[in-house]
Amino acid sequence: MSKDILQLTAVELLARYRDKSLSPVEAASAMLDQIERIDTHTNGFCLVDRDTTLGLASESEQRYQNGETRGLLDGVPVAVKDVFLTPMWPTLKGSKTVDPASTLNKSAPATAALSRHGYVPIGKTTTPEMGWKGVTDNPIDGATNNPWNPEKTAGGSSGGSGVAVALGMAPLALGTDAGGSIRIPAGFCGIVGLKPSFGEVPHWPASPFGTLAHAGPMTWTVEDCALMMNVLSEADHRDTNAVPRRNIDYLANLKKGVKGLKIGFSPNLGYVDVDPEIEASIAEAAEVFEQLGAEVIRVDPGFSDPLAAFGHLFYGGAANAMRDLGPKKRELMDPQLVAVAEKASRLSMLDYLGAVNESMALRERMATFHQKYDLLLTPTLPLTAFDTGREVPVDWPSTRWPTWTPFTYPFNMTGQPGLAVPCGFDSNNMPISLQLVGARFNDALVLQAGYAYQQAAPLTDRRPSLFSA
C-alpha cells in the first residue's frame, strides 16, 4: 500500500483525500518512512522532523473530516529546499556561518503561500552552501547523490529536492534557480522542473544572485508543476521585484496542446558540444512535437556563449553575499565558494556593468526571437550525471560548474521561463531532459507544451530501482 501511495502525484493525492480512500496522515507517514529507508543512499534531506510533519498532516486530515479544506494543496507533502524560510525549522543554506535561531519564526513567500493552501512540509532538502553551484554538497551535510545511481551527482543547487521527488519522498518540492539550479537536478534526476519568469514567483529575502535568481516548483509531472504554480505565484508584498499579479490559472489551458505553435529547435545553441545520445533523444522529442501538430524549425537563437558575463553577475553576487564575513567565518565555508567570491571581489564596477549590458542585449535578442517563435526547444544539459562529490566531470577542461550547463544560465540572464521535462535515458540508464523556453511571462504556454509532450511520451511510470529497493 505504501509503495502505491509513493507513486501518486499531488493531483491524485488530492482526489484520494476527497473521496476518503486515503488520508494526509497515511500519505505523510509513507513518505517519511521512505526517507528513513533510502535517503541514507542519496542524502536528499538535511532535516526531517516526523512529529511536526505528522502533526500538520493530522490537522489537514481533520479539515477533510470537517469538510473545511484549505486552498489547493491541503494535505499534500512538499519538500522544502533549505534556502526557504520555514517558521518551525531553521534555514541554514548549507552553511556553518548561519545562526539557526535567527531564521526561525519567519516564512518565505513560497512557504507562506503553501501554508495558506494547507501543505504538509515533509522536511528541508540539501543544498550547496548558499546555493552557489550546479552540484549539491556542503560543509554540514556532505554530498547529495543521484537517485538513479548514487555514485553520480544529483545536480544542484536544488539537488535534494530533485532526489525527494524522484524517489517518492514528496510529490512536490521547492527549488531555486540562478544558473540552472532547478533545471539541472530536474534533468539529472529525471523529474520536471520549472524556472518561472523572473518576478512571477515572489521570493524573499532577496537572493544574493539578484535578477538571476528564480524560485519555482519541482515535480514528477507537468500537471503537478502547473498546480503548484497556482499557489507559488500568489502575491507577496515583500518581493519588490515581483511583477503585478495576473492571477493566471496555470491548469486552465494546460490540455490545449501544441497544434499550430511555432517551435524553434536548437540542439546546441550553435556552439555547445552535446553528448550524441542526448542529441538523438532531443531530436526524437522534436519529432514528437511535430506529430502533435507544432511547426518545428531547426534554428539557433543567434547569440554567442555569455559565460563570462554570467560569471561576473553570478560570482559577483556571491562576493556581495560574503562581504561582511571575516576570515574566521570564511574558514568554515566551502573553500571553492570562498575562492570564486574573492576572485569576483576584484572585478571593477565597469566589469560588472559590462556584464549587465550583455545581459540586457541577450534579453533583447530573445524578445525578438519570440516575435517569430512561440517556444525554443533545447536539451536541458549536454551530458548526463557524472561522479558525485565533484564540481565538474573527471578530465573536464574547466574547474567551474557553469561550463557544463550552457543551456541553462543564458535564460537566467534573460529572465525567461525554462521548463525541464524528462525525454529519455542514456545507455547507462541515466535520465535525459529537454528544455522548453518561452517568452517572458509566457510560463503558461511553456507548461502547456510540456504537458502535451509528457502525455505523448510519458516516462512517469519509470522510477529509479532505489525507489523500491
**What are the cell numbers at 449?**
507544451
**CB of 117 closer than 8 Å to CB of 227:** no
Q: Are strands 262-265 and 375-379 parallel, antiparallel or unpaired?
A: parallel
**81 is annotated as an active-site residue:** yes
Q: Which residue among 157, 197, 207, 233 is the active-site one?
A: 157
Q: Which amino acid appears at position 335 of this protein?
A: P
368, burial (CB in 10 Å: exposed 0-12, middle 13-18, buried 19+): exposed
Q: Closest Cα to residue 309, out of 362, 257, 244? A: 362
Contacts of 439 (CB under 8 A, 6+ apart): 366, 367, 370, 374, 416
For residues 422 and 433, what is the distance between their CA atoms, to the nearest angstrom?
Answer: 4
**465 is annotated as an active-site residue:** no
Q: Which helix (H) or strand (E) holds 137?
A: strand 137-138
SS3 annotation, 192-248: EEEECCCCCCCCCCCCCCHHHCEEEEEECCHHHHHHHHHHHCCCCCCCCCCCCCCCC
For residues 468 and 15, what is the distance between their CA atoms, to the nearest angstrom?
Answer: 24
**CB of 192 closer than 8 Å to CB of 419:** yes
**157 is annotated as an active-site residue:** yes
User: Angle at the Cα of 39 (from 37 to 41), degrees rounded to 5?
Assistant: 105
Q: Which residue among 23, 60, 81, 266 is the active-site one?
A: 81
Contacts of 2 (CB under 8 A, 6+ apart): 29, 30, 33, 34
For residues 144 and 135, what is the distance between their CA atoms, to the nearest angstrom?
Answer: 8
Q: Which residue among 107, 115, 158, 181 is the active-site one?
A: 181
Catalytic residue positions? 81, 157, 181
